[in-house]
Structures are given as structure tokens and as C-alpha cells.
Structure 1
Amino acid sequence: MTNLVPIGRALISVSDKTGLLDLARALASHGVELISTSGTLMMLRTAGLKVRDVAEVTGFPEMMDGRVKTLHPNVHGGLLALRDDDEHLVAMAAHGIEPIDLLVVNLYPFEETVAKGADHATCIENIDIGGPAMIRAASKNHRFVTVITDPFDYDALIAQMKTHDGATTLAFRQKQALTAYSRTAAYDTAVSTWLAGEIKEPTPRYRSFAGKLAQPLRYGENPHQSAAFYTDGTRRPGVATARQWQGKELSYNNINDTDAAFELVADLGQAPSCAIIKHANPCGVATAATLVEAYKRAYVCDQTSAFGGIVALNQPLDAETAEEIVKIFTEVVIAPGASDEAKAIFAGKKNLRLLTTSALPDPKAKALAFKQVAGGFLVQDRDAGHITTADLKVVTKRPPTDKELADLMFAWTVAKHVKSNAIIYVKDGATVGVGAGQMSRVDSTRIAARKAEDMAETLGLPAPLTKGAVVASDAFFPFADGLITAAEAGATAIIQPGGSMRDDEVIAAADERGLAMVFTNMRHFRH
């Protein structure tokens, strides 16, 4: 198999002109003949470089508003011809096809056009045809042809040619072919996903997902698992778009937990709010008049679990809140901004990662979520479900008070972000007990209450904070036992979806104990 292959002729056609002139000059210094198209051609010629118009190669001018310019045998033959196949060489000679040894192409900015909210016609015009066709041809023939699809790889190409006297190695060409095929796959994925949305097709026959490498990770959930972090190009505010100011590299688990924390806190509205996350579940969530008070109240819910947790804030981090956070070990803090004073306080904790974003994610935004299973994967809309107080149905003799109602709505929002079966006790805008991920709903109810009892003992309180609290359940109570357990823990009001065969039994149990209960008619399972 051919190893070193010199580059004698290059076709360059790029939308992203980053680094283009430096690359072209480096190629020219090795005596490489340059061929180009339209805007790229003009830029290179303006810089004083000698460049052939692709129309000279094809014998046809660009036409149809540039839709047709490289779709020609003289281009694809030059890319696909096997240099060690006599029949291919004879065909090239017979038809005047010149070999193309290097293809430098990056595609029309379709993803960026969609992200900007462009109209349908503009998005269609930004679907590249000739670019992917050339990339696939060059990649298939990587034994002889080098293909570059990302300005990030220009320096590596220049270094290859400098080291190998104008040639590239097979290993380099193979790696670039891999990148190229991955790029066209991601591009086609973006187009198909957009079109499915345009025609409102929820279940297209074929579904694909794509991402761009953000960083290789040291390992996955456990040290024996390899892992990497990819971004999907949507620019949704969060861990994927955040700036890291300090601290160690984020781990797989850090990224997963930070995402969970930031999505939760973004769901809590405008008032200063804080969520503390451990293993993707909240161990404390609160809203208050100030950010520091929100953090303190979230921390009180479960001080034991908060150690080594992830803190998410819905307002820029200030110095007073930073001073509180550094009192215990925290893995990551993410917020929509941070003051210089807060950054200075964190600077003394070298292992603490501080991430800031430009905004909070929109909790109502539509997006797809997928999960791999053996032999396939499940796809669904992300849970963007929301209710208002107008959606609630009071099912007990006693309706909730205004104070209870506010806490019920807060508890319901938190429950959406807790692993099922989820039970959330809330009092005065703060969680006071969280039961997550249990096989039985009554067990989640008991665990949340028991943790509240433990914290009351730790804090020296006369009674657990569940006394006078409200409770949210992410799905209906199948039996009255879970509600009875919550009432025994001191709960005064319940919010749940309803819909159980035993709703009447559960409602009767609530009435017997003087509880108020509302149904949402919406479930928030989170597996």
C-alpha cells in the first residue's frame, strides 16, 4: 500500500476562509498547482497567488447560481483515479483528466444558517452538494489523495509536507479521510434533522445524531471506560458552551452532573435560585431573595450529600455567595456569569471548576433526547412539559393555601429533574427532603423523610423540616401508603399527576388527614 504521496495539484474551495492564505502560500512554496472556485479563487488571486479557475479544468463555467461548478468528470476523475491502475491511467490520458492530489473543502454553513433562524429557502440554498461529493470521492481514494475539511487541520498538513518534502503519509491521509467522512455524515444529519422539523415528521425512517469533538476525557463513568465529549452545534447555553475559568479538566461525571444542575436551575424562574446536584440528582434546591440565601437554604436540605457536589446558580455568582460555597469541597460551580471578586475567591481553590455561560438554557425549548439500548436506540422529545396553577385540579375537600400552592409548584418543578420514583418535600421555597430512584414510591417517600430527620438532628432542630412541608410526586400514588407516609412526616399538601386506579382511595386518605391535594394530569418520569 502506498505510503508517501507527493502533492502536485490541489483543489481548494472553502466557505470558511480561516487560515486559507497561510495554507495556500505554504502549498505554493512546495510548487503545488492551485485550482479554486469563485470566492476562494478571488481571495487567493487578490493575495497575489497563481490559481487556476476550476472552469478551466472542467471546460464549463459555474452555472445555476453556483449550484453546478465541480460536478464534472474532470474533477471527480482527478480525485478518484487509482494511480497504480493502468486502465485508470489510460482513461485519464484519453479524456484529459489531471490528477488532484489534495482536496481542501469546507462546506456551506448550513448548521450556522439554521441556528440563525433563516427562512426555508435560505436554508435550502445553504445545503452543499458539490462539496460533500468531492469529499467522499477524495476520502474513498485516500491511498493517493489527501482531503482536508477543517481549518483546524491546516497546520498538521503544512507540517506533514515540510517533514516529507511536499508529501503526506498514509496514516495522515487515513486520519483525514476518517474526519472527512465523519464531517459529511454530521452535515447530512443536520440537514435531515432540520427537514424532519420543517415537515413535522416525528419518526423519520432513518434517524442519526452527530457531534463535534469538544475534548477527549480521561475516562467515562469508571476508569476502565474510554470517553469523549462532543457538542451538537445547537449552541444551547450550558456546559457545552460554558467558559471554564479555573480548575481541573471536567470529567465525564462532572459534565453529566453539571448539565443536570444547570437545566434544573434554569427551570426555576427569575428569583435567585440554587441547585446542588450529586450523581445527577438534586440534594438541595432553593429560591430566595438573594443568591447567597438560596445557596444556604439549598445546602441545609442535605449537607452530607452536598459535599463534593455540583452547584448551579441562575444568576451571576457574587462574592458573598462564593464565600459560602468555598466553605466545603465543591466539584463544579456553573452560573450565567461571575464577578471578578467571586473569581478571586475561587482562585484559592485550585481544584474547584468555575464555569460561566452567556445565558440560561430555555427550559421550554424543543430538542431530541436519545438513549442507546441493545441493537438500537430510543428517541423522544426532551421533557419540556410545564404547567401553571390554572392547570391544577383540586381533588380534596380542602384546597391548598396560597403559600402551599407556591411550594407545590416549586416542588413539581424540582420533581421533573429527579430520577424516578421521585418524591420531593418542599417548605418555604426550598427542598427539605428528596427521595430519588427507588423501585417503590413509598420507599422514596420514607427515604426523603428519613433524610430530613437526620438533617434536623445534625442542625439541632426540634423537628424535621418536613413538618408543614408540601410534597410532589413525579407520578401517581398507586396506593395510599405513600401519601400516608408523607402525612406522617408532617406534609400538609400534595401535588401529583393523578390517574391511578386507586385515586379515590388516595383522595380519601388525604381527606381523612386534612391534606390538600391537586392533580396535574402530567407525569415527569426520569429514567
Structure 2
Amino acid sequence: MIKRALISTYKKEKVVTFAKNLKDLDIEIISTGGTAKKLEENGIKVTSVEEITGFPEILDGRVKTLNPKIHGGILARREKEEDMKTLKELNIEEIDLVYVNLYPFLEVSKKEDVELDQLVEFIDIGGPTMIRSAAKNFKNVVVIVDEEDLDAVIDQLKKEKEIDEDYRLYLASKAFNLTSFYDTCISNYLGKLTQNEYQKYLTVPFEKNYEMRYGENPHQSAIFYKNPMNSGAMTSFEQLNGKELSFNNLRDADAAWKTVNEFEETACCALKHSTPCGIALGENVLEAYRKAYECDPVSIFGGIVAFNKKVDVETAMELKKLFLEIIMAPDYEDEAVEILRKKKNLRVLKMTSKPTDKYEYVSVDGGILVQEVDKGLINEFKVVTKKDVPEELKDELLFAWKAVKMVKSNSIVVSKNKATTGIGTGQPNRIWAATEALQRSEGKGADVLASDAFFPFSDVVEKAAEYGIKALIQPGGSIRDKDSIEACDKYGIAMVFTGMRHFKHM
């Protein structure tokens, strides 16, 4: 039977209504400073914590509820005779319900001008302690940490005069979930300040953003969790049109957006199944789109097209001709949006942030892999062949190098005029990827070839020679580099070593 409730909240929007409902059920309310004042201003009689503890708030409010008369009342096991005897001897009364929300550490930590000394004062101590005490003793104490549960608790109390044990357990699980999330935010913030980001225990704060219709396949459930400490591109865009995003949509959108943001110049990426099928630069977005489209007019169907510059009306007219799932850009001309909205299911995303993640997480059975995001590009531009790189192909090589970085390994990209003309992706050996890319370039031509990792044999060079490739770019570092260099010299092809590879297995 719930007779006494302790309420201590930072957010007070719903606390008055909840407290009035408790009073209507003849439940005594204990409360702390600001909450007590709010309730009394609204005509709700409360018992202050000081009246219970016989001790005032001290240290500017740092110590309020950290007292045996509070925690004894919460933690006592009603079914245990010794516990109840102790309460009676010490004149402690049971507390049957605890409703607490916490100081907004996360919100304050995002402010640009906040000092550490100021932020420390938003690390809640008493709140999490009461929550954990109540959750530990869930069989006897109802713990509420989410405003969404207030009405359900009141409804059950009105109907049953009690809260059933299954619902108490549910509320306790939410309570521990909140305190672990809260502590994780603090730990991560302090870890960044101390450069101690690879700590012994991996605790990354993710908050439920929304449920997805399903995962990669219809029989798989899926939820999108966001990192509230990092406002990334996939959590801050504005959707201007179209259906809700699916699991696959969001993964693919992430890959496409990261690809176009590799370039300062006007860029377009067409992408399907998490890997680019066309990447191109242009004098304007329309030219970039047309060049990316020509790389693979088949695979782009039903895919994603991303731009790193504003989409104009002329480009929108071209995009409208094709069935696409998503179009992404940092901005759109007003009329361009109206044109695209004529396709009601087409998802049009206005991107408001560049990619911001510092780390990537990959789950494996029984664990998780963590690595820094690959933000490198090149260590050196070292010509290793007798033939030098023609001046007009240096930028072409760098374009192809940026493009191949974004393609799944083993990957080969061939390009001409700052556009991929063939992409070989995700192959178990490099010659298959090269053959795939070069064959796809037939009829479009190719000047340069880029490989995300070194050539273990000379076969890629020999295949490139068949297709008239003029220059190659690769990391180098194979024990058989000499074979590839000699093959390049034989065919009069220039080759550059970068000293940096870009495996991409995800």
C-alpha cells in the first residue's frame, strides 16, 4: 500500500498534476527545496525533507536527501522483520514511491561557454542515489524517472490501489537504465577533457530516437539510437518530403553523405546498398550529377543521390526523371523542392551538419570493435616509376584516391574527367575488383586507376595496361612492389605510392 511519496524534480512541468493526483489518493508527499516550493504555490501541502531528517540542506544544496531517514525509509524490506524493527527503533517511516528527475548535466554540457566548475554543479548526486535505492527495493517501492509513466501509475493506483510487481520491475529497469546513461554522459565528457577516451569500460551514451519499420529485412526489428553528446549529420537533418526512413535508408544515406563530404569541390555521389555506384565532380551540381549517373545508369535506379552543394531547379528536373529513394543536399532552391515534392514518396533531406563522428563501432558476436573514423587521406605523393605523372593527371589521381577511400574493400576505382567510370567493390581479391571496374568503364574510357590497398602481384597493372590506363595510385608496401613497378615501366604507366591505405570493410 502506497502511503508516502518522495518527489524531487528539476523539470517541473508535470509535477503539480501528479502531486494533486497523489493527494486525491490520500498519499503523503515529501519534497525538497524547489519542488516543495512549486507544490505549495499550487496549494499542495508537502512535508519538507528537513522535517523528516531534522537536518537542513547544506553546501549550497549539494546535501539534501543523503540521510538514513530518507534512504532507510526507501531501502527497508517490508517483508523482513529485522528491517522493520530497525525502522521503528530509529523512528524512520517507510517511503513507498519515489519520483525523481535529474539535474540536466547533458543539456548544460552542450553549451559552448560553460566552465567545468559550473558544469560540475549539474552532476546530480542525491537524485541518482534515491533512484538506485528505490529501484533496488522495487518490490516495496515504486520508482518513477520518466514523465511518460506518471499517468499509468496514477491510473493503476486509482483502479487497484496498488502497483503490481511486474510494472514495478519495469519501472526499476527504466530507473537503472537512466542512471547508467546519466553516468555515461559524465564519464564521456570528462574522458574527453583528459584525453582518456579509450577507457577500461566502453560506455557510450545512446538515446532512443525512433523505432524503424524493420531492419535490413522485414523479419528483423530495428531502432535508431542517437548519441545525444554529438549532434551528427544523421540526427540533425530536415526531411522536406517523402516517407519515413528505413534502416537501410539511414545506413545508405550516411555512406553517401560521408562520400560527398570528402570533397571541397562540387560533388555528387550516387549510392546503392551502402557503396557508391558513381562519384563525380562538376562545375555545378547538374554536371556533377550527370557524370555520376553515367558511371552506372543501372545501379543508380532506386538508390540515393547526395550533393555537397545547393540543388537548383535544373538539377531537380533531371532528378525527377529517375526513381530514387533519397536525395540529400545542404540546401535547395525553393522551386527545386516543389519539383521534387511532386514525387510524394521521394525522401528529400536537407543536411544541416557535416559528418562529426570521431569513432566507429562494429558489433561482433560477443563484443564490439571500436576505431577512429578514417579521416586521413595521403602521407605522400611519391612517383615510383620511370614515367612521371603528367601534370594534367595529378588532380585526377587525387580525385580517384578520395573516391576509392569510400568504396568497400577490396576496391578499385577508375576515372576520367573527375568522374568514376568504373567501380569494383567488395571483392575477395584485387584483380577481380580491377577487372570489374575496368570492364564497367568500357565505352566511357578511363585515364587513372586507384586501389585502396597495395598490389600483391603485377596482375592489376597488366589488366590496367589492356584498358589504356595512364597512371595508377596505390599505397605501396607490398613485398612484391618491385613486380608492379617493373610492369608499369614495361607499359609506360606512371604509378604513385601514397603510404596510406584505406581498407573499408563495413
Q: TM-score, normalised by structure 1?
A: 0.87
Deviation at 1:309, TM superposition (A): 0.8
Q: For the structure 1 residues 476 and 346, does the alpha-carbon distance in structure 2 shift closer, same or farther, using more than 3 Å as the test?
A: same
1:189 and 1:33 map into 2 onto residues whose CA distance is 34
User: Which residue of the other structure, out of 11, 30, 36, is the alignment partner of 1:35?
Assistant: 30
1:113 and 1:522 map into 2 onto residues whose CA distance is 40
- 1:287 matched to 2:281: yes
| Contact 1:369/1:380 (8 A) holds in 2 | yes
Deviation at 1:447, TM superposition (A): 0.6
User: Which residue of the other structure, out of 291, 305, 329, is the alignment partner of 1:311?
Assistant: 305
Cα RMSD, aligned residues only: 2.6
2:248 and 2:35 map into 1 onto residues whose CA distance is 43
2:388 and 2:34 map into 1 onto residues whose CA distance is 68
Where in structure 2 are the equivalents of 1:375-394 lying within 5 Å?
Answer: 375-387=366-378, 391-394=380-383
3-state SS, counterpart of residue 304 of structure 1:
coil
- 1:266 matched to 2:246: no
Amino acid at match of 2:146: D
2:491 and 2:249 map into 1 onto residues whose CA distance is 43
1:251 and 1:220 map into 2 onto residues whose CA distance is 7
| Structure 1 residues 448-487: Cα deviation after superposition (integer angstroms, max 9, x where no partner) | 112222xxxxxxxxx3332x2x222111111221133223
1:88 and 1:296 map into 2 onto residues whose CA distance is 77
| Structure 1 residues 293-336: Cα deviation after superposition (integer angstroms, max 9, x where no partner) | 22222111111111111222223444333322222221122333
Amino acid at match of 1:396: T
| Contact 2:96/2:142 (8 A) holds in 1 | yes
Match of 1:439 in 2: 428
- 1:452 matched to 2:441: yes
User: Which residue of the other structure, out of 264, 289, 295, is the alignment partner of 1:301?
Assistant: 295
Q: For the structure 1 residues 317 and 53, does the alpha-carbon distance in structure 2 shift closer, same or farther, using more than 3 Å as the test?
A: farther
Q: For the structure 1 residues 377 and 235, does the alpha-carbon distance in structure 2 shift closer, same or farther, using more than 3 Å as the test?
A: closer
Which deviates more, 119-128 or 432-441?
Answer: 119-128
Match of 1:465 in 2: 445
Match of 1:430 in 2: 419
Deviation at 1:373, TM superposition (A): 2.1
Deviation at 1:339, TM superposition (A): 4.1
Q: For the structure 1 residues 265 and 116, does the alpha-carbon distance in structure 2 shift closer, same or farther, using more than 3 Å as the test?
A: farther
Unaligned runs of 5+ in 2: none
3-state SS, counterpart of residue 65 of structure 2:
coil
Deviation at 1:513, TM superposition (A): 2.6
Match of 1:403 in 2: 392
| Contact 1:160/1:167 (8 A) holds in 2 | yes
| Contact 1:237/1:357 (8 A) holds in 2 | no
Deviation at 1:229, TM superposition (A): 1.3
| Contact 1:421/1:437 (8 A) holds in 2 | yes
2:384 and 2:473 map into 1 onto residues whose CA distance is 10
2:295 and 2:210 map into 1 onto residues whose CA distance is 34
Deviation at 1:185, TM superposition (A): 1.7
| Contact 1:237/1:358 (8 A) holds in 2 | no
Amino acid at match of 1:437: G
User: Which residue of the other structure, out of 447, 459, 472, is the alignment partner of 1:481?
Assistant: 459
Which deviates more, 411-420 or 107-116?
Answer: 107-116
Match of 2:475 in 1: 497
1:84 and 1:451 map into 2 onto residues whose CA distance is 75
Match of 1:332 in 2: 326
Which deviates more, 22-31 or 171-180?
Answer: 22-31
- 1:108 matched to 2:97: no
Match of 2:128 in 1: 132
* Percent identity over paired residues: 45
3-state SS, counterpart of residue 12 of structure 1:
strand
- 1:517 matched to 2:495: yes
| Structure 1 residues 126-166: Cα deviation after superposition (integer angstroms, max 9, x where no partner) | 3322222221122222223222223344444455455x376
Q: For the structure 1 residues 119 and 345, does the alpha-carbon distance in structure 2 shift closer, same or farther, using more than 3 Å as the test?
A: same
2:378 and 2:192 map into 1 onto residues whose CA distance is 24
Match of 1:353 in 2: 347
1:151 and 1:289 map into 2 onto residues whose CA distance is 53
Amino acid at match of 1:438: Q
2:430 and 2:119 map into 1 onto residues whose CA distance is 48
Q: TM-score, normalised by structure 2?
A: 0.91
| Contact 1:412/1:472 (8 A) holds in 2 | yes
Deviation at 1:233, TM superposition (A): 1.0
1:318 and 1:356 map into 2 onto residues whose CA distance is 13
Match of 1:459 in 2: none
Unaligned runs of 5+ in 1: 454-462
Q: For the structure 1 residues 105 and 412, does the alpha-carbon distance in structure 2 shift closer, same or farther, using more than 3 Å as the test?
A: farther
Match of 1:458 in 2: none
| Contact 1:314/1:360 (8 A) holds in 2 | no
Match of 1:323 in 2: 317
1:166 and 1:316 map into 2 onto residues whose CA distance is 60
Give the paired residue count: 504
- 1:228 matched to 2:219: no
2:477 and 2:179 map into 1 onto residues whose CA distance is 47
Deviation at 1:210, TM superposition (A): 3.6
Q: For the structure 1 residues 341 and 64, does the alpha-carbon distance in structure 2 shift closer, same or farther, using more than 3 Å as the test?
A: same
| Contact 2:205/2:229 (8 A) holds in 1 | no
2:128 and 2:5 map into 1 onto residues whose CA distance is 17
| Contact 2:238/2:352 (8 A) holds in 1 | no
Q: For the structure 1 residues 265 and 101, does the alpha-carbon distance in structure 2 shift closer, same or farther, using more than 3 Å as the test?
A: farther
| Contact 1:265/1:273 (8 A) holds in 2 | yes
Match of 1:172 in 2: 167
Match of 2:93 in 1: 98
Amino acid at match of 1:361: P
User: Which residue of the other structure, out of 373, 383, 389, is the alignment partner of 2:364?
Assistant: 373
Deviation at 1:114, TM superposition (A): 3.5
| Contact 1:307/1:330 (8 A) holds in 2 | yes
Match of 1:15 in 2: 10
| Contact 1:104/1:149 (8 A) holds in 2 | yes
| Contact 2:269/2:278 (8 A) holds in 1 | yes
